[in-house]
Amino acid sequence: MKKIVKIYWLYPLFCLMIGCSGFLDRSPYDEVSSENVFTSAALAESVVNGTYSNLRYDYSNFGTEIINWDALSSVLDPADANVSLNYSYLLGTIQPNNPMFLRYWQRLYEGVNRANDVINNISRVPDMSDEVKARRIAECKFLRAYHYYRLNSLWRGVPIYLENLANAEYTRSRASEEDVWNQIIQDLTDCINTAELPGKYASNSSDYGRVSKGAAYTLRGKTYMWLKKWDLAEADFREVGNQGYTLYTGSYANLFKLPQERSDEMIFSVQMEEQANMGNVFSRTYGNRLTTGSGNSSFFMNTQFVDSYEWANGKPFDWEDVIPGYHAKAPKARSVYFLRDNINSSEQTNMQTYGADMSEYLATGNEARIRQAYIGRDARLEATVITPYSVYLGGFSGAEINYSSRWPFRSSASAPYDLQTNTNSYMLYSIRKFVTEGRQFLNVSFNPIDVPIFRYADVLLGLAEALNEQGRYQDAIVYVNQVRNRANVAPLNEPGNPYVAVSSSNDLRPRIRNERKWEFAGEMQLYYDELRWGTWQESKFATGNGLLEVWGAPVYTYNWGGSAYLKWAIPQAERERNTSLVQNEGWR
């Protein structure tokens, strides 16, 4: 069992004992209780760990009100039943009074307030050593910086509160975006300069999962990238390696399994347990109906993103190389290439009615032909996505059975065992990454595998980006290739390989961005990257993009709502409460 995780979740029980305020209140507990808390090291530690527990919100809840941040990015799509419920941002219909804006404003400020309480009060705990106090203050300065990082990425300028106030006193105006970045940097610098904070915790440490200097350098480097201070970002990312972090050298697919959750690649992760409200919910939200416990298929990998994965030799993927004439056909017509072998007469009639060009059908070789589009690609593709006619080991029936995504769907109950989702009327790219295989974990709502927030591949690609933006693209290639080598794809500038030739920073920039997408898809990091790069509109809202069947026919498409969408709306309820808050331009 992971000691720190169990400590984190003492906080809600502690709140019941001392009378914590409700979620909508700005402080985690009332003034009298706060006075009592910091009279004991044990109670103070509960408050510190309650600050950590706020991180789990995005990963341990599965209600429709919970945002999957990658579903806002270009790599992931909400299921058709989910998009209208919680992703009206993607349909061009969201308004400033949408509950999403208020929910995350309050949730992120809750993290700030919990951290503030520790930072400003733990020094007076009588039975806690100065060393532990300094370490806990450093941890909470990181956590405060992390929550402000997310607030500033979304709203680009928010009020700064470094101490908790009475509810009626939260009336400050928005600080500028730059001022918030600078406050984040100050907190992280204080954290890094704390001698009592270790650079890295050993995997067997009872304190594993707490903030380290490595995490602080990573977040400060990311903050410098927002400010385009590339030399300072470079220096911070280099320091992460100096703390002892390194790239996991096994396969990419194995990186997200239980034995690797404490590998030296993991810099800062949300700690999970196989208990209700304490585990990650990816097997529920990403998983399919055959996942043990039955997943909801709430999200699918974006079809255009799947098509972006290169061949292993670095050649860009093009359907024409596998099926000549593919692009000349309408999307429904080319559905023929994805049909299972030996379809029956009724299925053939249905597909003809749908629009499939049945003259291209191979009764006994159709599956083998389409598999050629996926075999020999970047290994991260098959580790992330359940591609057509590949195998997924499910356990829903009580036995471990190999299922395959076939079309048309027939049955998951008998051989040859078709993969079943919540949307069997469409053929979509189901997600493999983070999803339980076989019968290893029995509940889809609390998987015990930790979820990484920062890992060393992130640092390597951040270092590459920082170097490239300084014009040092040849130096940057070294770090991109470390990530590519793990995926068994051709290194950039491999001699004699024209597909991976790079001759300038302009050549390398889109490659680094694609590399991040292939590496981090499904980890809920990429929306923030696309906002920082300024590419979110062109990638997520590309013409015709949306939830597409594997052959490109739309289930629904996205609709760009205008330039206001690049910054989140200040919640209407917060503006009514605090009249000093000025709305972001374009929102009414």
pLDDT of residue 4: 42
Domain tally, the chain: 1
- What Cα–Cα distance (Å) separates residue 481 from each residue in 304, 352, 457? 24, 46, 11
Integer angstrom CA distances of residue 57 from 97, 107, 273: 22, 9, 14
Query: Closest by alpha carbon to 551, among 387, 368, 321, 417?
Result: 387
Kindly state whether residue 95 falls inside one of the protein's structural domains: yes
Strands 430-431 and 385-386, sheet pairing: antiparallel
List, run by run, the mean pLDDT of 10-residue segments along the chain (588 residues): 40 38 32 72 94 91 87 97 90 93 96 97 97 98 98 98 94 98 98 98 96 98 98 98 97 96 97 91 96 96 98 98 98 98 98 98 98 98 98 97 98 97 96 97 94 98 98 98 98 98 98 98 98 98 97 98 97 96 94
**DSSP character at residue 294:** -
Do 443 and 210 meet the contact criterion of CB atoms below 8 Å apart? no
- How far is Cα 465 from Cα 81, in angstroms, rounded to an integer? 37
pTM exceeds 0.85 for this model = yes
Tokens of 375: 């075999």
Q: What is the pLDDT of residue 128?
A: 98
For residue 374, give the 3-state DSSP assignment: coil
C-beta of residue 350 within 8 angstroms of C-beta of residue 332: no
Q: What is the CATH number of the domain that holds 63?
A: 1.25.40.390
What interhelical angle do 456-468 and 213-226 show, nearest 10? 30
Which DSSP helix (H) or strand (E) runs through 149? helix 130-155
Query: Do the bridges between strand 451-455 and strand 266-270 make them parallel or antiparallel, or are there none, so unpaired?
Result: antiparallel
CB 272 within 8 A of CB 5: yes
Residues of the chain by 3-state class (helix, strand, coil), percent to 5: 45, 5, 45
Instruction: Count CB atoms within 10 A of the CB of residue 374.
Output: 18
Residue 102 lies in a domain: yes
In a domain, 461, yes or no: no
- 434 CB neighbour count, 10 Å cutoff: 21
Neighbours of 569 (CB within 10 A): 25
Question: What pLDDT score was predicted for residue 86?
Answer: 87
Whether residue 540 is contained in a domain is answered as no
Kindly state whether residue 22 falls inside one of the protein's structural domains. Answer: yes
- Asked if residue 510 is part of any domain, the answer here is no
User: What's the confidence (pLDDT) of residue 33?
Assistant: 56
Distance, CA of 241 to CA of 290 (rounded, Å): 40
Residue 47, domain extent: 3-279+571-577
Residue 378, domain member (yes or no)? no
Instruction: Kindly state whether residue 535 falls inside one of the protein's structural domains.
Output: no
* Number of Cβ within a 10 Å radius of residue 210: 23
pLDDT of residue 510: 98
Give the whole-angstrom CA distance, residue 430 versus residue 421: 8
pLDDT of residue 180: 98
- Write out the two tokens for 193: 């300069």
Q: Which two tokens stand for residue 442?
A: 């029995």
